[in-house]
Structure 1
Amino acid sequence: MSLVFNNYNGSIVTADQQVLRLNNRSFHYGDGLFESMRMIRGNLQFAGLHAKRLQMGMRALKFDHYSVLDAVFLVEKAKELANRNKAKNGRLRLTVFRDSDGLYTPEEQKFGYSIEWETLEDQQYTLNTKGLIMNVYEEMQKPVNMLANLKTCNSLTYVLAGIFKQKHRLNDAFILNQHGFLCESISSNIFIKYNNILYTPALSEGCIRGVMRQAVMDLALKNSIQVTEAQINPQILNEAEEVFLTNATRGIQWVLGFNRKRYFYEHSRFLSNKLNEQLNDSF
């Protein structure tokens, strides 16, 4: 296995090198946030949307100098890491943490960061050949507050949903918000086709402000597919014609079944093709 290189505060380090101190605030308090990004054929995808969401989150968490982490920074660091790993296709996780001493109250608001690299083979977004089997995770619901749309380092709801998924031999699980409405899945946003309209939970429902969510909504509207952001009762899963998930690294993934309900994958296949057409046009 070839050596993998990551980035820690601007220094290139090997993946097995220990760099975090035990008092790191992301470890102690979940005091940070992250971006999962995709590089395809040497180009970081949707860098502008990632930078916008990252800066929005850093501003909400009161970090100083958040404007430094703009699209130019993301592209530069991603290409540097891709070159060092001698790969053009990969998944990157950028984690930003408050780099400060202190207990619950930090002494400073400066940030540190890390970028982890995983090499991928695919040179485009690949629609899954086998549809996902899902169910609703009900044990813990996601709070709706000013942090809900951010990808923070506090991910216990998703971890417990992942354990539920594993226990019940599912491919993913639907997560509800505190009011009992559909929010998202373990690592993706949700789209539901019902009466030939695409619905996705509104940001006011507490879902992550997904980069691919926005890209897919833009693609749908561009191709005359009606999209509505809404409050969605989970009962619609028993009547929907189609359900699919979106995230920045995998693109679009279609859902085959929920309980005994089975779904088609017409829109997910169409939009996945359009996503790759858009990707090819950019080269």
Structure 2
Amino acid sequence: MTKQFINFNGEIVPSEQQLLTVANRGFKYGDGLFESMRLLNGKLMFAELHSERIRKGLRLLKMDSWSHVDTWFIGEKVDELVRRNKTGLDARVRLTAFRNGEGFYNPSANHMAYVLEASKLTDSTYKLNEKGLIIDVYDEITKPVNILSNLKTCNSLIYVLAGIFKNQNLLDEVMVLNNNGFLCESMSCNVFVVYDKKLYTPALSEGCIAGVMRQVIIKLAKENSIELVEAQISPDILNAADEVFLTNAARGIQWVMGYNNKRYFNEVSRFLNEKLNLL
């Protein structure tokens, strides 16, 4: 296996090298955020949207130097790392940023530190899954709706527990509800539902992650005259929907085949995936 490297605060080091201590705030308090991205045919897809979301998140978390994490910074660091890791033209990239100050809940400083990872992918397009996903609703713990809800923070316990539920029930993915009992997102994706010839997705005010691929799909739908509604959505819609599909930056679109005894089509998801690959 080819030796892999990471970028730790601007320094390329072996991925197995131990770098963090027990004082790390990301470890102790989940004091940070992360961003998953996709390198496709040598191009970092939607780099401006990713850098904009990272800067917004760092600003909300009150970390210094947030303005330095722009499109140029991310592109340069990604190019350097994928060359070192010999991933070729297609890779999954993750940037994790955390507060580097000491202290307890009240940090002594607000300096930003980061880790950049890049791993090889085999697909050179956004590939729609051949077999649809089987899903269920995870409702043991709901997601609170607040100013941090739209961020991918390092505090991800609800998704970890949802993942355990998924594994225990032999599912492909699970839906997460917000604290008002409405559809929020899936364990790792944003959610879209086709019902009565309209495309629905939970509004950002419902606490879902403000996904980059979510933005892209909303734009594609509008450009192709698909009526789209961002709304408060009851999970009961899963029993009546014509289609359900999930989106994230790394995989693009993944269509859902079944929920309980309900089975879905994949016409809209297939159409949008074709349009996505033309970008």
TM-score (norm 2): 0.99
Q: Paired residue for 1:187?
A: 188
Q: Paired residue for 1:58?
A: 58
1:43 touches 1:79 (CA, 8 Å); kept in 2? no
Q: Paired residue for 2:72?
A: 72
How far apart, CA to CA, are the structure 2 residues paired with 1:111 and 1:65? Answer: 7
CA shift, 1:64, in A, is 1.1
Indicate yes or no: 2:136 matched with 1:135.
Answer: yes
Deviations along 1:234-268, one digit per CA (max 9) or x if unpaired, are 00100000000000000000000000000000000
SS at match of 2:20: coil
Counterpart residue identity of residue 74, structure 2: L
1:42 touches 1:82 (CA, 8 Å); kept in 2? no
Runs of 4+ aligned residues of structure 1 deviating over 3 Å after TM superposition are: none
How far apart, CA to CA, are the structure 1 residues paired with 2:10 and 2:229? Answer: 41
- Structure 1 unmatched runs, 5+: 279-283
SS at match of 2:278: helix
How far apart, CA to CA, are the structure 2 residues paired with 1:22 and 1:242? Answer: 46
Q: Paired residue for 1:49?
A: 49
Q: Paired residue for 1:253?
A: 254
Q: Paired residue for 1:202?
A: 203
How far apart, CA to CA, are the structure 1 residues paired with 2:239 and 2:269? Answer: 18
User: Which moves more between the two structures, 251-260 or 34-43?
Assistant: 34-43
Counterpart residue identity of residue 13, structure 2: V
SS at match of 1:56: helix
Q: Paired residue for 1:226?
A: 227
SS at match of 1:246: strand
CA shift, 1:15, in A, is 1.3
Counterpart residue identity of residue 77, structure 1: K
Counterpart residue identity of residue 68, structure 2: V
Q: How many positions carry a matched residue from both structures?
A: 278
1:91 touches 1:119 (CA, 8 Å); kept in 2? yes
SS at match of 2:218: helix
Q: Paired residue for 2:98?
A: 97
Alignment root-mean-square deviation, CA = 0.6
Counterpart residue identity of residue 269, structure 1: R
CA shift, 1:124, in A, is 1.1
CA shift, 1:46, in A, is 0.6
Alignment of 1:236-247 (within 5 A): 236-247=237-248
Counterpart residue identity of residue 141, structure 1: T
- Structure 2 unmatched runs, 5+: none
TM-score (norm 1): 0.97
